[in-house]
Structure 1
Amino acid sequence: MNLKDIHNVFFIGIGGIGMSALARYFSYIEKEVVGYDKTSTPITDELTANEIKVHFQDNLDLIPETFRNIENTLVVYTPAVPETHSQLQYFRSNGFEVKKRSEVLGIITKDTYCFAVAGTHGKTTTSCILAHLLKENSTPLTAFLGGISEDFNSNFVLEGTDYSVVEADEFDRSFLQLSPNVACITSMDADHLDIYGTNEELQQSFQDFVEKIKPGGMLFIRNGLPLQGITYGIEDESDYCIKNILIEHGTYIFDLVTPKEILKQVRFSKPGRHNLLNGLAAFAMAVQAGSPPHRLAEALGTFKGVQRRFSYQIKEKDFVFIDDYAHHPTEIKAVYQAITEMHPNKEVTAVFQPHLFSRTKDFADDFAESLSQFDAVLLLEIYPAREEPMEGVTSAWLLDKIDNPNKKLISKSSLINEIKHCKTGVLVTMGAGDIGLEIPKIKKELAYAS
């Protein structure tokens, strides 16, 4: 497929974070872009504001006539869309060029110097930090991000085409469509077992991803992963290492050890050891673009963050409200570590919305353990996303497993009222479902109450 021959791009699932970044890209290079999504969201609102037409009904009549030209129309879909989708079936049955998002991303980045960030946790933050570091050092790059970077206020960056930054998503084995020059693997915890079946199959997919690195390319791995590569870690003997950590007014100050030098008094403001590792991985990758390490280290200190990744919504002396995308037990534990490190001796209430029946079933005991650490837990119903309910797998079932006297199952409609009556020093909301849409309402109510 030659993108130069494409005039129209039709997206099925355009409101997804990865899909919307691609839609922005094609609109920017002056292709006609139209898309379908199930519901209206702030992302689809912004696409519409940028003159990208979006509709919310799976109706063949809503496909514009110009997009029925098989010769110059590309159809991009997300695997989250069911095979029964009538628009998807129409394009397939009529011989259109129909590709998954990951395939298109592979085509776009194939002829660039590609940085790909893989791992079951940390992809979005690491890729956003990497894009920030490269931009601050005037590197000509295009970035497709899995979250809204607070530095760019977008999930898409176009500052040139020599380099590309992408998330290498293991879901549906999407990352096997990429051919990076420099890759990073942040973590390989069991996840997406609805796709892989077993953890062994997931581990094998990461091995397969490593094989996709271009000849002469580089692989960075978090120290301790069962792979061969350039290592990064904290207070160990990794090739890239953070040592002598201090915390000053909520900011980390540390020494950054590289294979060639030690950079002193480096600053980084995103809480949590997991975020320190994300920043270190991004730094190590960015060095490969030729920027002076001391300038990259300075840029670490100006990274603002990513929406819904340990995002402070309210930060006052007596009360803190944090929102995070955490939807896996390992991520919940990382959030807890960050909160207790930055806000010691404060009671913490966690609001959690489980994401997917299959993930809840596969990791129920681990979810229970990670949530039991908090002083109080408010548990919402499971967000199904692409799945049908599973018999016996409910939030009530998960709640019974949580060892915490201050636990409660609540509905989304009662969420704000429950929070308003919650006496706590730190409130944290977590989940990858539609809980993110509730955050502005919660913030408004809490600010009003104070």
Structure 2
Amino acid sequence: MAPGIPAAMERPHFIGIGGAGMSGIAKILAQRGAKVAGSDAKESGTAEALRALGATVHIGHATGHLADDASCVVVSSAIRADNPELLRAAELSVPVVHRSDALASLMGGLRAIAVAGTHGKTTTTSMLAVALTELNLDPSYAIGGDLAGPGTNAAHGEGAIFVAEADESDRSFQKYDPEVAIVLNVELDHHANYASMAEIYESFEAFAGKIVPGGTLVIAADQEGAVELTERVRALPSLNVVTYGESETADVRVHKITPRGLTSEVTVVLNGKYLTFTVSVPGRHYALNAVAALAAGVALGIPAHNLASALGKYTGVKRRLQLKGEAAGVQVIDSYAHHPTEMTADLEAMRGAASEARLLVVFQPHLFSRTQELGTEMGQALALADASVVLDIYPAREDPIPGITSELIIDAARAAGADATAVHDKAAVAGTIAGMAKPGDLVLTMGAGDVTELGPQILDHLSS
């Protein structure tokens, strides 16, 4: 039932094809039969997975990588204007397509669910993808992280539903026309693109305004920013608004969340009836993500009891409190959290899952601009750990900002009573943590950069 390939996407070339968002679109196009090519800065498992689907993946960026017959060049907001392949596209008059426009073209003709919010998008999108697949609805999906089960971030399905993570960071989520949209929370982030909460609200209002007539907005009833957005969009014509959460006024009300070790049992009240299901990851925030997914599926007409049971099959996403292994009695877990709210939620989840354990954190700040604006709050979040090691800032797409370093976070953490230490040599972290850890401890590697690579290294040091 799924549509074919848009004409402009028959021979696409992706600059940065290994990225989480870019690779997902490339995989779906390859599965639909497009002649996919692209380049990335370094070799990776993602590059190999794309090659296995028939894509041509070059390592490094060079003008010769762009084929003369490319139908378009796909870029994300992270691609700089002086990229040689982008310059070559201009010489050849090859159309340049933003990642969000490419994704929007893949959703055409399908019942789209777009998942937005400052935090929790990947998890909630993943929960829906797993549950809909479990119900034999064969959805297409594009996610910002790899599912723990299938081990991929995207798939082309033959069913009528397309589930996509909708990125607000560069306003690109305004390109989509979903039948159902989820807004998990609304907070100030992405400071290079948004100067104020007023701009954030305007952007989310525009996103809600793109929901198709008669469609549904599923939105949190407990989070301050989401409540404000709800008031702003209720007047939109032909829009159904469904709230979820622990508030007594929520349309899908959370009656109880019961921790069960590294899982949770959730009971909701939906249409006057109680419904209980299991969420196989710890923490209140993940339980609420599952309730959002439930509400969205019901909005598409899927029976609630079937969907609740299928949500229990979700086993997690890589880098979202992912257990990397255990050695010498120490468990090593990986977290993608990089915003203070996310950090606090994951640290509280780990505290709740193992209240007797000592919690050691390796935190890598992500982006100079985010550290400049939220460094104090990041340090305060680290006070939930027994001890923290803080790395240098991972720059990603940004140039350094004078005076902005990880010391801002360390100072704030210490002011909050935390035990925080700077380690500037990433290669020394594994040995440092292994020397600190004792049997029964939990080690959490945290951040959106390459801190994830340290988990296996820490396990090796613990084993030696």
Normalising by structure 1, report the TM-score: 0.93
Report the CA distance between 1:155 and its aligned residue: 0.5
Residues 338-375 of structure 1 deviation map (CA, whole Å, 9 limit, x = unaligned):
01111113221111000000000011111111112211
Aligned to 2:237: none
Aligned to 2:40: 37
Query: Cα–Cα, structure 1 residues 417 and 150, in superposed 2: closer, same or farther, change >3 Å?
Result: same
Q: Residue 379 of structure 1 contacts residue 395 of structure 1 at CA under 8 Å; is this kept in 2?
A: yes
Q: Residue 332 of structure 2 contacts residue 455 of structure 2 at CA under 8 Å; is this kept in 1?
A: no
Aligned to 2:292: 281
1:414 aligns to 2:410 (yes or no): no
C-alpha distance in 2 between matches for 1:428 and 1:386: 25
C-alpha distance in 1 between matches for 2:167 and 2:69: 31
Paired AA for residue 248 in structure 1: R
C-alpha distance in 1 between matches for 2:136 and 2:113: 16
Residues 164-218 of structure 1 deviation map (CA, whole Å, 9 limit, x = unaligned):
0001100111101100000000011110011112222112101111101010000
Higher deviation after alignment, 336-345 or 228-237: 228-237
1:130 aligns to 2:143 (yes or no): no
C-alpha distance in 2 between matches for 1:382 and 1:5: 38
Aligned to 1:328: 339
Q: Residue 333 of structure 2 contacts residue 455 of structure 2 at CA under 8 Å; is this kept in 1?
A: no
1:46 aligns to 2:55 (yes or no): no
Aligned partner (choices 66, 73, 76) of residue 75 of structure 1: 73
C-alpha distance in 1 between matches for 2:13 and 2:50: 13
Q: Residue 137 of structure 1 contacts residue 291 of structure 1 at CA under 8 Å; is this kept in 2?
A: no
Q: Residue 368 of structure 1 contacts residue 402 of structure 1 at CA under 8 Å; is this kept in 2?
A: yes
Q: CA RMSD in A?
A: 2.0
Residues 272-295 of structure 1 deviation map (CA, whole Å, 9 limit, x = unaligned):
111001111111111233332112
Higher deviation after alignment, 221-230 or 162-171: 221-230
Q: Residue 116 of structure 1 contacts residue 165 of structure 1 at CA under 8 Å; is this kept in 2?
A: yes
**Counterpart secondary structure, 2:243:** strand
Aligned to 1:434: 450
Q: Residue 179 of structure 1 contacts residue 214 of structure 1 at CA under 8 Å; is this kept in 2?
A: yes
**Counterpart secondary structure, 1:311:** strand
Paired AA for residue 23 in structure 1: A
Aligned to 2:151: 153
Query: Which stretches in structure 2 are left out of the alignment for 5+ residues?
Result: 235-240
C-alpha distance in 1 between matches for 2:166 and 2:11: 26
**Counterpart secondary structure, 2:199:** helix
**Counterpart secondary structure, 2:79:** coil
Report the CA distance between 1:259 and its aligned residue: 2.1
Q: Residue 135 of structure 1 contacts residue 159 of structure 1 at CA under 8 Å; is this kept in 2?
A: no
Paired AA for residue 68 in structure 2: R
Aligned to 2:308: 297
C-alpha distance in 2 between matches for 1:230 and 1:202: 21
Higher deviation after alignment, 145-154 or 86-95: 86-95
Q: Residue 26 of structure 1 contacts residue 33 of structure 1 at CA under 8 Å; is this kept in 2?
A: yes
Matches of residues 14-413 of structure 1 in structure 2 within 5 Å? 14-63=17-66, 67-69=67-69, 73-224=71-222, 225=226, 226=228, 227=230, 228=234, 229-234=241-246, 236-264=248-276, 266-314=277-325, 319-403=330-414, 404=417, 406-410=419-423, 411-413=425-427
Across the two proteins, how many residue pairs are aligned to each other? 442
Q: Residue 283 of structure 2 contacts residue 346 of structure 2 at CA under 8 Å; is this kept in 1?
A: yes
Report the CA distance between 1:316 and its aligned residue: 8.4
Runs of at least 4 residues of structure 1 off by over 6 A?
Answer: none
C-alpha distance in 1 between matches for 2:9 and 2:428: 48
Higher deviation after alignment, 51-60 or 160-169: 51-60
**Counterpart secondary structure, 1:310:** strand
C-alpha distance in 2 between matches for 1:249 and 1:373: 19
Paired AA for residue 436 in structure 2: C
Q: Residue 193 of structure 1 contacts residue 199 of structure 1 at CA under 8 Å; is this kept in 2?
A: no
**Counterpart secondary structure, 1:169:** coil
Query: Which stretches in structure 1 are left out of the alignment for 5+ residues?
Result: none
C-alpha distance in 2 between matches for 1:5 and 1:193: 33
**Counterpart secondary structure, 1:183:** strand
**Counterpart secondary structure, 1:193:** coil
Normalising by structure 2, report the TM-score: 0.91
Aligned to 1:423: 437
Paired AA for residue 427 in structure 1: V
Report the CA distance between 1:6 and its aligned residue: 4.6
Q: Residue 264 of structure 2 contacts residue 283 of structure 2 at CA under 8 Å; is this kept in 1?
A: no
C-alpha distance in 2 between matches for 1:443 and 1:379: 19
Report the CA distance between 1:437 and its aligned residue: 2.6
**Counterpart secondary structure, 1:441:** helix
C-alpha distance in 2 between matches for 1:55 and 1:438: 26
Paired AA for residue 431 in structure 2: N
Report the CA distance between 1:419 and its aligned residue: 1.3
Report the CA distance between 1:5 and its aligned residue: 5.9
Q: Residue 361 of structure 2 contacts residue 446 of structure 2 at CA under 8 Å; is this kept in 1?
A: yes
C-alpha distance in 2 between matches for 1:172 and 1:75: 19
Q: Residue 279 of structure 1 contacts residue 300 of structure 1 at CA under 8 Å; is this kept in 2?
A: yes
Q: Residue 133 of structure 1 contacts residue 283 of structure 1 at CA under 8 Å; is this kept in 2?
A: no
**Counterpart secondary structure, 1:345:** coil
**Counterpart secondary structure, 1:243:** strand
Report the CA distance between 1:25 and its aligned residue: 1.1
Paired AA for residue 428 in structure 1: L
Paired AA for residue 414 in structure 1: A
C-alpha distance in 2 between matches for 1:358 and 1:262: 44
Higher deviation after alignment, 209-218 or 27-36: 27-36
Seq. identity, %: 33
C-alpha distance in 1 between matches for 2:298 and 2:327: 37
